[in-house]
Structure 1
Amino acid sequence: MLFIKLAIEAIRFAWQALRSNLLRTVLSLLGVTVGIFSIIGVYTMVDSLESNIKNSLSSVGERTIYVDKFPWQFGDGEYPWWRYFRRPKPKYSEFKYLKENLENAQAVTILDYTITQARRENSSFNSLCQGITYDYNIISDVPIINGRYFTTSEIDGGRNVTVIGGDVAETLFGDEDPVGKQIKLKGENFTVIGVQEKKGKQLVDVGGNPDTKTYIPFVKHKRMFSSGNLYGTISIQAYESDLGMEKLESEIRGKMRTIRGLRPLEEDNFALNRPDAAASFLTAIFGSLRTGGFVIGLFALLIGGFGIANIMFVSVKERTNIIGIQKALGAKNTFILFQFLFEAIFLCLIGGFFGLLIVYLASFINLGTLDIVLTSSNIIFGITISSIIGIVSGIIPASQAANLDPVIAIRAK
């Protein structure tokens, strides 16, 4: 009950302070508003960027290791690309060996990409033609909205069948149902067996935008675009129980060294790449951006805090007589302390609210493929920071008010 009474009285006095000198209060709250807007605005933008990029990374598979010729490089340091040119590319035979022998793999696939023109009658579309094997839809989700996915016999036999993306379907078929109809890829007829659900353009399309893809069996892809040379990138997914994917990575390295006949002292002539390494690298970058945004916004908050402290010192001076009367009637020092402290917090929360409101309104600005979302965690963080600034700004004036001598305070004019 005491807490509620203090809160109500603090709100009443804060409202009186706002009304008594509106311009002074607004200018003082402006610092808090700008500070919260700066901090939460940067946090919201960074969170939105991080979410967008990580969603794009998830399209290349979660808990996945890629066996390739070149390593992905993240962070500082020299990238000795010239060392990797003589490495052999992963082969279809190596994919088959890994698929049959890996015990810690949930799914194994091999894939390759080529940009080619998909045609139907007088319509054409520059498509990213991707050769895949059956397990591809386990590693990278392929949501079929119309039709079906490949069968194992279609994949193994390299049949002329394809699953197409949403943009390809719209361009080549319009309002027609594409399933069962044919399109041409590099002059060959392919029967459309499925249409992938439209994803929409992302800020960063890692591995290509699925809407622009045409999926065909890997063996058929290599016959068409690589003269039958069956090489590509091997993708392997770990089980959920394999935390850190350490078991899978160790097993892949051992199997690859065995199949390539590497001696114990020879270095690997293949790279094991992990998308989660990219995610960790991006997390570190975004963490730095958040820290920078917080430091920049903190300066504005400090200015706003001084403004709130100034209001509170003036408020204590104006209400010295009232404080003396309250003490004479039995009010304790803690009551007076919390009364002014709550008032400072309330004033900072008003400034913080307007800062959050500006961020929320800014989230409706159309930035193309980037969706800005003000999350509940950022709202709570903004409210928390506002409250802390209120406590820091109000503690000295509140202590000064609480320690006033009641006799001297009553006599004050």
Structure 2
Amino acid sequence: MIFMMLQEAWSAMSANRLRTFLTMLGMVIGVGAVILMSSIGAGTQAKVKESIASMGSNLFIVLAGSMTSGGVRIGSGGVQTLKMNDASAIEELSSIKAAAPVVPGTAQLVYQSANWNTQVSGTTPAFFEVRDWPSEEGSVFSDSDVRSATRVAVLGKTVATNLFGDESPVGKTIRIKNSPYIVLGVLASKGQSLDGRDQDDTVMVPITTAQTKLFGSQFKGVVRFIMVEAVSESVMDKAEEEMQVLLRDNHKLRPNAEDDFTIRNLTALANTAAETTKAMSLMLAAIASISLLVGGIGIMNIMLVSVTERTREIGIRIAIGAKQRNILLQFLLEALMISIIGCLIGVCVGIGGAYGVSAFFPISVVITQSSIVISFLVATCVGVFFGFYPARKAANLEPIEALRYQ
């Protein structure tokens, strides 16, 4: 019986192909828009998660203090208040896994006829542990290189590509500020950071080499900032409090004096960015889903027209023994078929649109099964919901009045 009703529904839809297509169009656009927006949102979330993962886990950055000069307040890093022994002391805390002092700068690198200007950072081997940044080729420098202020360097992927192309840089000699440095290794690719900066466009050298031979410093052992990794996410708050107490004690600050350093929880900032992106993705999907409601209203309007046009047919069916539930089911099936077919076409349109956006624009898209399944279920529910009123109206027609209808 259901099969016969489906055949009848298909015949009714085929009899008015253009009207049926226009009715489906709202559902096609709605489902396509939901899948496209969901794919863009999921792609953005994946990109943010990738950037967060590339930073490392449970991270803090301790910045040097600020200063006020002539009424002008200079931001963090304006005063050289952090030293190598601060990093060593922080690393001794029970809640801290590793701490790496950093002295950043920029320099021109030269290898044969190629040259490249990039960020050069002096640090310790702990930096690669904190950032979870292994070498892809060769190795990183050791503590003995730091103690000896050896002229060695570890290259980021971007720097290695621009200076050496396809050639292996390990063991080769580059010049940084006209001084020779032996390349020990190349770091694994990290990609872009949350602010869009290329993390692979960098060079790492021993911190003592940067302080004494590369950038120089009028204050011995001074560093710009310290990268810190906590033991676990559960002790992040405790670690921050312990670092604050330790640094205030090391810097001999009075109880009422302001901190001459700044501690930032990078993991919390990254998680906030991820939550914001997730909220934006949900908002995009919600906006796109409004078009599904518009499509549902279109189905209801056309079904009401169909009921009016087929009033005499309905009267004949009731007169020869069709029950109310049969009429109700017949028109519900028609609405459901329009909704499902429109949904299937919309899924194809949405997937094609997502791939098109990815191909022609620098936007990452991720097509998830959940977005397709949810769109399909919502479209089906919309078809049933908006098709129920016309179907019930048809089922409640009085047979005598229906037969008299012209």
Q: Name the TM-score class by shorter chain.
A: 0.7 to 0.9
Cα separation, partners in 2 of 1:247 and 1:319, compared to 1, 3 Å = farther
Describe the shift of the 1:88–1:189 C-alpha distance in structure 2 as closer, same or farther (beyond 3 A).
closer
Q: Post-superposition shift, 1:396?
A: 1.3
- In the aligned structure 1, how far is the partner of 2:341 from the partner of 2:145? 64
Structure 1 residue aligned with 2:380: 387
Question: 1:64: how far off?
Answer: 0.9
Matched, 1:213 2:226: no
2:35 aligns with 40
Amino acid at match of 1:230: V
Matched, 1:260 2:255: no
Deviation at 1:104, TM superposition (A): 0.9
Tell me by how many angstroms 1:316 deviates: 4.1
Please give the residue correspondences for 1:180-191 in structure 2 after superposition, counting only pairs within 5 Å.
180-191=171-182
Q: Distance in 1 between matches of 2:11 and 2:309?
A: 12
Q: 1:199 to 1:253 in 2, by over 3 A?
A: closer
The answer for the alignment partner of 1:91 in structure 2 is 83
User: Once the 2 structures are TM-superposed, how far is the Cα of residue 95 of structure 1 from its aligned partner?
Assistant: 0.6
Q: Which runs of 5+ in 2 are unaligned?
A: 67-71
Aligned residue for 2:228, secondary structure, equals strand
What amino acid sits opposite 1:115 in the alignment?
Answer: T
Match of 1:278 among 256, 260, 269: 269
Separation in 1, partners of 2:125, 2:310: 78
- The reply to whether residue 122 of structure 1 matches residue 117 of structure 2 is no
Residue matched to 1:172? 163
What is the one-letter code of the residue matched to 2:113?
Answer: N
Question: In 2, distance between residues paired with 1:191 and 1:113?
Answer: 19
CA distance in 2, matches of 1:20, 1:257: 83
- The equivalent of 1:75 in structure 2 is none
Judge conservation of contact 1:119–1:172 (CA < 8 Å) in 2: yes
2:26 is paired with a residue of what secondary structure?
Answer: helix
Q: Residues 106 and 199 (structure 1 numbering): CA distance in 2 closer, same or farther, change over 3 Å?
A: closer
Structure 2 CA distance for partners of 1:190 and 1:38, relative to 1, 3 Å: same
**Match of 2:69?**
none
Structure 2 Cα separation of the partners of residues 215 and 304 of structure 1: 58
8 Å contact kept, 1:112–1:130: yes
Secondary structure at 1:175's aligned position in 2?
coil
Distance (Å, rounded) in 1 between the aligned partners of 2:5 and 2:64? 67
Counterpart code for 1:68: L
TM, length-normalised to structure 2: 0.82
Quick check: 1:70–1:271 contact (8 Å CA) kept in 2?
yes
Alignment of 1:348-387 (within 5 A): 348-365=339-356, 366=359, 369-387=362-380
Distance across 2 between alignment mates of 1:63 and 1:238: 5
Find 1:109's aligned residue among 96, 100, 116. Answer: 100
The one of 292, 297, 310 equivalent to 2:301 is 310
The superposition leaves residues 140-164 of structure 1 with CA deviations (integer Å, 9 ceiling, x where unpaired) of 2324222123333224433222221
Verify the 8 A CA contact 2:45 2:278 in the aligned structure 1: no
Q: Quick one: which of 225, 236, 241 aligns to 1:233? A: 225
Secondary structure of the equivalent of 2:33?
A: helix
Would you say 1:250 and 2:250 are equivalent positions?
A: no
In the alignment, is residue 63 of structure 1 matched against residue 58 of structure 2?
yes
What displacement does 1:326 show?
A: 8.0
Q: 1:377–1:232: structure 2 CA closer, same or farther, 3 Å change rule?
A: farther
Residue 396 (str. 1) matches residue 386 (str. 2): no
- When the two structures are aligned, how many residues end up with a matched partner? 395
Alignment TM-score, normalising by the size of structure 1 = 0.81
What are the ranges of 5 or more consecutive residues in structure 1 without an aligned counterpart?
72-79
Query: Which stretch shifts more, 169-178 or 315-324?
Result: 315-324
* Structure 2 CA distance for aligned equivalents of residues 138 and 50 of structure 1: 26
Asked whether the equivalents of residues 38 and 293 of structure 1 are also in contact (C-alpha less than 8 Å), the reply is: no
Distance 1:174 1:83 in 2: 39
Q: Secondary structure at the match of 1:210?
A: coil
The CA deviation string for residues 52-78 of structure 1, in whole angstroms up to 9 with x for no partner, is 23422333322211111379xxxxxxx
Cα deviation, 1:242-291, whole Å, max 9, x if unaligned, reads 42722222222222222222344444332221223333443454355345
Q: 1:116 to 1:355 in 2, by over 3 A?
A: farther
1:89: Cα distance to partner?
A: 3.8
Query: C-alpha offsets along residues 342-390 of structure 1, whole Å, 9 cap, x if unaligned?
Result: 5434422333333332332233343565322222232233223323322
AA aligned to 1:225 is F
